[in-house]
């Protein structure tokens, strides 16, 4: 570690006299202490600075295009960079304790405060000085770049840059790499002599194998920011990592390497052997990981497409349960994304969410709540505590949500066929938002939102005319997926709902060219095994296969699982007969995939189908999996079906 002494920060414009003074000053006051006091020769530096009239320029690129001029130091200036604080005559009580320094620095929120603080110090370590640069970059750089280019002209900042450039070989690894990262964030020109000096020193130490795992990761992140994933040095860094003994890495080092790989190689194929070794070791330390570390690793596994690391994913997901109350919003989002990506679900994780979300929902970011709802929706988890809490926060805070967030909050209610106790207020709020912000919704987002409403008998009658208008349909068609079968299925079901359940609707109709012949219902497909059991039972009951038909297409877009026809006297007719049909019975053979997970609650798509079949004249008989799965033979299934379908009597016309 090196020590930096900045007694004063008085700079003035260079001139010939000052240049001469600088030559003498540099040879006397820029001293390096290592054991005995030994002055370094600065003749080449002085000559170079004289030739340029002591105006070394650092050009700041990207969004700023600001020039920083390092001007000559006053003849009274003393700047010390000491290699060994233990042997240095200036390593006394004037050096502030690093812990106290970092605590003080963390509390400073403007560069002005930081510079004032640095002026008050007589001496600091290079780690402290680089930390100050990092703090400056944090408070002065946002997504749009450097907020205040005047920072770069500040005399304290210029003095630090001066010493980091010309004393790079004396810096500790941490001081060197922290400074490099901070200066990259501050948009220093990579071609400047300052950056060239730091990069050259970093690469030299890399080549000599002097960098720790943390150092390698810090250098890698700096190069990614500076040169992108194609950096040749980056590949060298990753090769060095492969040579390390992974079993000796600490959890923090493991996390840093995961992040490094995530940012640099994405797919992970080139370094899959390294990843496999890391995944195996991480499996053994999963229980030791903090909430932050766990979320970072899960996020990396998603980005790196580690679908083969199933044991690790399952272990991390199980251990994440205990951290649910302690995850930050971003961390919880990363964990939920991993559950979704890897198709994993944990009942105890859901229970932890049910405890945490209702208590914290009013302080959670809307995007986090959206991700929780997406998790519940895709996993078909009807969590009434979560959904009720989401309804409450929507009613009070929805005016500040984005249109996507609004849809992500509401769509799961329809998908999972659930109306919360506050439903009147919830959908009143939604209607109010739609009236004022209708045009701000993307076409597919709006269609998903309104379609989910009709699934739970909340009819957007005031907006159907706009949905069926040629203008809106053209907008839909212009979207990436256009009017595919899924979109036209939603449009058709909206139209059928308006026809069957909203007879007072008198607006535009959906033209036949936009209608499907049969609905596409993802996730609600027929359970073939269950269907065959029912068919076997019916055959035992009705004696002949001709008396029922399976998977029957109707003129009304729905497919009936099993259809039985009766005449006026109640006799069963052959399925192929079209005359004298007085009653039609639709058997809905509902497997587990038509219900919310671990429940007997129908999903929205199946609920609206059964509702519409009734309105279309069918007698709907539901055959749910949980009523038939315990029946051991076809005789018992037949007896069950007789009671369900023909509770009073039945007959066959011979």
Q: β-pairing, 651-652 with 571-573?
A: parallel
Average pLDDT across the chain, whole number: 83
Non-local CB neighbours of 607 within 8 Å, separated by 6+ positions: 417, 455, 456
pLDDT score of 40: 27
For the chain, give the percent of residues with pLDDT over 70. Answer: 83
Measure the CA–CA gap between 29 and 40, rounded to whole angstroms.
Answer: 10
Confidence grade of residue 652 (pLDDT, cut at 50, 70, 90) = low
Whether 215 is covered by a domain: the verdict is no
My answer on whether 187 and 88 are in the same domain is: yes
DSSP 508: P
My answer on whether 403 and 550 are in the same domain is: no
451-488 per-position pLDDT tens digit: 999 999 999 999 999 999 999 999 999 988 889 999 99
Average pLDDT over residues 537-555: 93
Confidence grade of residue 20 (pLDDT, cut at 50, 70, 90) = very low
Measure the CA–CA gap between 50 and 42, rounded to whole angstroms.
Answer: 12
Non-local CB neighbours of 260 within 8 Å, separated by 6+ positions: 216, 217, 220, 221, 237, 238, 241
Average pLDDT over residues 160-171: 88
- The CB-based long-range contact list for 57-61 (8 Å cut-off, 24+ gap) reads 57/192, 58/152, 58/161, 58/188, 58/189, 58/192, 58/193, 58/194, 59/189, 59/191, 59/192, 60/146, 60/149, 60/152, 60/186, 60/187, 60/188, 60/189, 61/187, 61/188, 61/189, 61/190
Q: At residue 55, does pLDDT exceed 60?
A: no
My answer on whether 352 and 410 are in the same domain is: yes
Least confident of 342-346, 581-585, 593-597: 342-346
pLDDT score of 263: 84
Q: Name the phi and psi angles at 343, rounded to 5.
A: 70, 30
My answer on whether 409 and 494 are in the same domain is: yes
Whether 27 is covered by a domain: the verdict is yes
Number of H helices, E strands in the chain: 28, 15
Residues facing residue 573 across a β-bridge: 565
383-403 per-position pLDDT tens digit: 999 999 999 999 999 999 999
Confidence grade of residue 653 (pLDDT, cut at 50, 70, 90) = low
My answer on whether 459 and 582 are in the same domain is: no
Least confident of 28-32, 126-130, 159-163, 645-649: 28-32
Q: At residue 355, does pLDDT exceed 80?
A: yes
190-208 per-position pLDDT tens digit: 888 999 999 999 999 998 8
Last residue of some domain: 178, 210, 242?
A: 210
Average pLDDT over residues 91-95: 53
Residues facing residue 539 across a β-bridge: none
Q: How many domains does the chain have?
A: 3
Whether 589 is covered by a domain: the verdict is yes
Contact 416, 596 (CB under 8 A): yes
My answer on whether 137 and 2 are in the same domain is: yes
My answer on whether 496 and 550 are in the same domain is: no
Whether 552 is covered by a domain: the verdict is yes
Go through 378-409 and write b for each residue having 16 or more CB atoms within 10 A of its CB, e for each that does not.
bbbbbbeebbebbbbbbbeebeebebebbbbb
My answer on whether 498 and 600 are in the same domain is: no
Q: At residue 33, does pLDDT exceed 50?
A: no
Whether 242 is covered by a domain: the verdict is no
Last residue of some domain: 160, 178, 210?
A: 210
My answer on whether 590 and 451 are in the same domain is: no
Last residue of some domain: 210, 228, 249?
A: 210
Average pLDDT over residues 515-528: 81
Alpha helix positions (H), 30-68: 43-51
Distance (Å) of CA 596 to CA 16, 48, 367, 563: 83, 76, 24, 25
Average pLDDT over residues 287-297: 95
Domain with 575, as residue range(s), is 528-652
pLDDT score of 400: 93
Residue 154's region, left for phi above 0, alpha for psi from -120 to 50, else beta, is beta
What is the residue-wise DSSP string for 432-445?
HHHHHHGGGS-HHH
Whether 318 is covered by a domain: the verdict is no
My answer on whether 550 and 430 are in the same domain is: no
My answer on whether 394 and 538 are in the same domain is: no
My answer on whether 385 and 409 are in the same domain is: yes
Contact 233, 206 (CB under 8 A): yes
Contact 498, 461 (CB under 8 A): yes
Whether 162 is covered by a domain: the verdict is yes
295-348 per-position pLDDT tens digit: 999 999 999 999 999 999 999 999 999 999 999 999 999 999 999 999 888 899
Contact 587, 549 (CB under 8 A): no
Whether 443 is covered by a domain: the verdict is yes
Measure the CA–CA gap between 48 and 51, rounded to whole angstroms.
Answer: 5
Measure the CA–CA gap between 172 and 159, rounded to whole angstroms.
Answer: 18
Residues facing residue 588 across a β-bridge: 622
Q: Helix axis angle, 16-29 relative to 43-51, nearest 10°?
A: 160
pLDDT score of 167: 86
Q: At residue 187, does pLDDT exceed 50?
A: yes
For the chain, give the percent of residues with pLDDT over 90. Answer: 57
104-135 per-position pLDDT tens digit: 999 988 889 999 998 888 788 889 999 999 99
């Amino acid at each position: 570690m090196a020590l930096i002494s900045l007694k004063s920060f008085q700079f003035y414009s260079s001139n010939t006299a000052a240049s001469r003074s600088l030559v003498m000053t540099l040879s006397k006051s820029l001293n390096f202490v290592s054991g005995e006091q030994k002055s370094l020769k600065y003749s080449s530096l002085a000559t170079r600075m004289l030739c340029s009239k002591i105006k070394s320029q650092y050009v700041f690129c990207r969004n700023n295009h600001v020039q920083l001029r390092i001007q000559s130091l006053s003849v009274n200036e003393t700047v010390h960079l000491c290699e060994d604080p233990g042997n240095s005559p200036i390593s006394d009580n004037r050096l502030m304790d690093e812990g106290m320094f970092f605590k003080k620095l963390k509390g400073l929120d403007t560069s002005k405060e930081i510079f004032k603080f640095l002026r008050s110090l007589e001496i600091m370590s290079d780690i402290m000085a680089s930390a100050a640069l990092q703090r400056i970059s944090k408070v002065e750089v946002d997504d749009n770049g450097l907020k205040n280019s005047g920072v770069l002209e500040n005399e304290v900042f210029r003095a630090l840059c001066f010493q980091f450039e010309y004393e790079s070989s004396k810096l500790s690894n941490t001081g060197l790499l922290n400074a490099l990262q901070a200066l990259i964030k501050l948009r220093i020109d990579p071609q400047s002599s300052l950056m060239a000096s730091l990069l050259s020193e970093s690469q030299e130490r890399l080549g000599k194998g002097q960098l720790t795992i943390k150092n390698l990761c810090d250098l890698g992140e700096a190069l990614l920011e500076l040169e992108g994933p194609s950096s040749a040095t980056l590949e060298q860094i990753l090769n060095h990592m492969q040579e390390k003994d992974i079993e000796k890495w600490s959890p923090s080092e493991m996390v840093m390497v995961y992040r490094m790989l995530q940012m640099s190689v994405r797919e992970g194929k080139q370094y899959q052997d390294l990843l496999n070794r890391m995944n195996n070791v991480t499996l053994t330390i999963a229980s030791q990981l903090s909430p932050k570390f766990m979320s970072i690793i899960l996020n990396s596994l998603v980005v790196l497409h580690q679908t083969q690391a199933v044991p690790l994913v399952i272990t991390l997901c199980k251990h994440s349960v205990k951290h649910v109350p302690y995850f930050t919003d971003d961390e919880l989002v990363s964990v939920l994304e991993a559950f979704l990506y890897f198709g994993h679900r944990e009942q105890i994780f859901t229970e932890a969410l049910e405890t945490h979300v209702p208590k914290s929902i009013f302080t959670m970011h809307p995007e986090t709540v959206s991700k929780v709802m997406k998790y519940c929706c895709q996993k078909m988890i009807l969590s009434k505590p979560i959904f009720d809490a989401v309804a409450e926060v929507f009613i009070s805070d929805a005016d500040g949500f984005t249109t996507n967030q609004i849809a992500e909050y509401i769509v799961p209610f329809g998908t999972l066929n659930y109306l919360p106790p506050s439903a009147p207020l919830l959908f009143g709020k939604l209607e109010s938002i739609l009236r004022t912000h209708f045009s701000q919704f993307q076409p597919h987002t709006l269609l998903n939102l309104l379609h989910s409403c009709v699934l739970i008998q909340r009819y957007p009658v005031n907006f159907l005319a706009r949905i069926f208008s040629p203008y809106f349909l053209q907008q839909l068609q212009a979207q990436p997926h256009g009017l595919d079968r899924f979109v036209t299925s939603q449009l058709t079901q909206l139209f059928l709902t308006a026809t069957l359940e909203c007879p007072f609707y008198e607006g535009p109709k959906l033209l036949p060219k936009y209608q499907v012949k049969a609905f596409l219902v993802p996730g609600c497909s027929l359970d073939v095994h269950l269907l065959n059991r029912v068919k076997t039972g019916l055959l035992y009951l009705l004696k002949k296969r001709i008396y029922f038909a399976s998977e029957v297409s109707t003129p009304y877009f729905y497919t009936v699982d099993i259809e039985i026809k009766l005449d006026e006297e109640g006799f069963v007719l052959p399925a192929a007969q079209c005359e004298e049909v007085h009653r039609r019975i639709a058997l809905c053979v509902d497997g587990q995939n038509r219900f919310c997970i671990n429940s007997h609650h129908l999903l929205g798509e199946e609920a609206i189908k059964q509702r519409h079949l009734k309105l279309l004249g069918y007698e709907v008989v539901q055959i749910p999996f949980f009523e038939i799965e315990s029946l051991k033979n076809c005789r018992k299934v037949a007896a069950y079906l007789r009671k369900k379908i023909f509770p009073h009597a039945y007959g066959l016309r011979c």
